[in-house]
Amino acid sequence: MKRKWLSLLMASLLCLPSSIAFAKTTADFSDLKDLDAATKAKFDALISKGIFEGVGNDTFGLKEEMNRAQFAKVAALIFGLNVDTSLQTSSFTDVDSNSFALPYIEALKKAGITDGTGAGKFSPDADVTKEQLAALWIKGLGKKDEAISTAGFNDDTVSDWAKGYVAAAINLKLLSNGPDGKFGGNTNATRDLLVLSSFEAKQTFEEIKPTPTPTPTPTPTPTPTPTPTPTPTPTPTPTPTPTPTPTPTPTPTPVPITVETPTANPMSGPVAYGTAISLSTTTDGAEILYTIDGSTPSVNSLVYGSPIIIDNAITIKAIAVKAGAITSDVMTASYTLLGPPQLTVTGLSYQSLNILRATFNMPVDEVTAETVGNYLFSSMINMMSPPINPDSATLLQSGTEVDLDVGSWYDGLPAGDIITLSISNVEDTNGAVIEFGYNNAPQLEKE
């Protein structure tokens, strides 16, 4: 029986592609998987525009901090500033000429959003504090005068110079006080706070940004008609009856096209936990805007850039827009979950010292996760060698990751070989067993 099972496994491996590419979404970062759907949508909106990236292959770094140089790039992109990448010298003495942030820092200064930290310095390596973050957002939104005139804000955790900016940022719902009712102005801003406040600042900026008035085309000065030299009056001849001029056919007024309504794939109905919903429209060049809370979408709604991951019951509404065309009708698609989420393996990665790490979509039971007989490794190139069990299996503190020690077996594989991990009998914390088969057989290419 074991030999027959092994033959079937080897045959299936021959049908697999040599490499598989996956698009990055919040689902690819282990520390973003527990966010609610609305928060994930905000993160995806900024990740898709290249404003934020992760700090590692599968780690976004929610609670890590960001220095002032890194945040200068974020702020310049949020406000759509003109960034001169040809600059080679900074107006600040502590910004190196080779720094990636130099053009972004100079763009912020030119826009009046920052004057640095004093004495001609910008302090690019210093962390961004919450009150500095508030000041940058309010200046970038053009509300500096309102912030300076704001009085009556009483919070001893905020520096005197920043109180007006903090009050304005709280009023605009860009930032908020902590659970103790205090703002904590001198504490460093973590990346989760930076992402969410960046999203709110971008939304506010788009709402208040003035629409430019087009410059009128000047009317050309007509060329004067020369006065003709008078000629003798000829003897009149009979005037023939004129032929009537036909009435020209009026040019029809062009009718603008209507953008095609977006469609969702799959459409409404019960779906499995983690299903990715794709939105599309058949109108070339159209942009899709959507909501996931059941509200009607508008030009200020989320811009669709990557599939929407279903982790609870939601209603997606979407429209498609295009310059010079009529906005589409509203698409509505509602989804419910097909029972509880099923345990699956989402990735296999190399760590170090012959350690391969399997990542699951939810916490797993420690006893079954650390049973080495539940894991079987095989090689695509070296198919004649029998599959092996790892020497040990260790469940990490995250509860969703297991480190598997494969000993010298990994060293003996040639570069480019495809490693397949088959998993069986591992349970989630509720006792549900992982489904054995192709969907739970992750692959890894040896470097």
Amino acid letter, residue 24: K
pLDDT category, 186, cuts 50, 70, 90?
Answer: very high
- Higher pLDDT: 410 or 366? It is 366
Spacing of C-alpha 372 from chain mean position = 38
Check residue 11 and give its pLDDT. 37
pLDDT at 292: 95
In CATH terms, are 263-337 and 345-446 the same topology?
A: yes
Residues 6+ apart with CB under 8 A from 33: 26, 27, 361
pLDDT score, position 8: 35
What's the CATH number for 263-337? 2.60.40
Tell me what percent of the residues of the chain surpass a pLDDT of 90.
49
C-alpha 322/C-alpha 128 separation (Å) is 38
Structure tokens at 176: 């908020």
For residue 242, give every residue at least 6 positions away whose Cβ sits within 8 Å of its Cβ, in sequence order, or none. none
- Helices 68-78 and 130-140 sit at what angle, rounded to 10 degrees? 30
Choice between 125 and 152, residue whose per-residue pLDDT is larger: 125
Of 338, 341, 333, 344, the closest CA to residue 307 belongs to: 333
Q: What is the mean pLDDT of residues 156-160?
A: 91
Residue position matching structure tokens 């790490």: 357
The C-alpha atoms of residue 33 and residue 361 are separated, in whole angstroms, by 8
Which pLDDT score is estimated for 343?
92
Span 54-98, pLDDT tens digits: 888 889 988 899 899 889 999 999 998 999 989 989 999 999 989
pLDDT digits (tens, 9 = 90+) for 130-149: 999 989 999 989 988 888 87
Average pLDDT over residues 402-406: 95
CB distance 86 to 113 below 8 Å: no
Phi first, then psi, for residue 338 (nearest 5°) are -80, 85
CA 96, CA 113: separation in Å to the nearest integer?
20
Q: Where are the domains of the chain?
A: 26-208, 263-337, 345-446
Closest CA to 25 of 4, 6, 40, 14: 40
Residue 22's pLDDT band, with cuts at 50, 70 and 90, is: very low
Whether 188 has a pLDDT exceeding 70, the answer reads yes
Residue that wins the pLDDT comparison between 80 and 385: 80
Q: Does residue 222 register a pLDDT over 60?
A: yes
pLDDT: is 115 or 440 the higher one?
A: 115
181 or 238, which is more confident: 181
- In this structure, are residues 421 and 348 in contact, taking their beta carbons and an 8 Å threshold? yes
- Asked if 140 and 107 count as a contact pair (C-beta separation under 8 A), the reply is no
What is the b/e burial string over 272-303, where b = at least 16 CB atoms within 10 angstroms of the residue's CB?
A: ebbbebebebebeebbbbbbbeeeebeeebbe
Q: Is the pLDDT of residue 30 over 50?
A: yes
Who has greater pLDDT, 309 or 25?
Answer: 309
345-446 CATH fold: Immunoglobulin-like (2.60.40)
The mean pLDDT of 169-190, rounded to a whole number, is 91
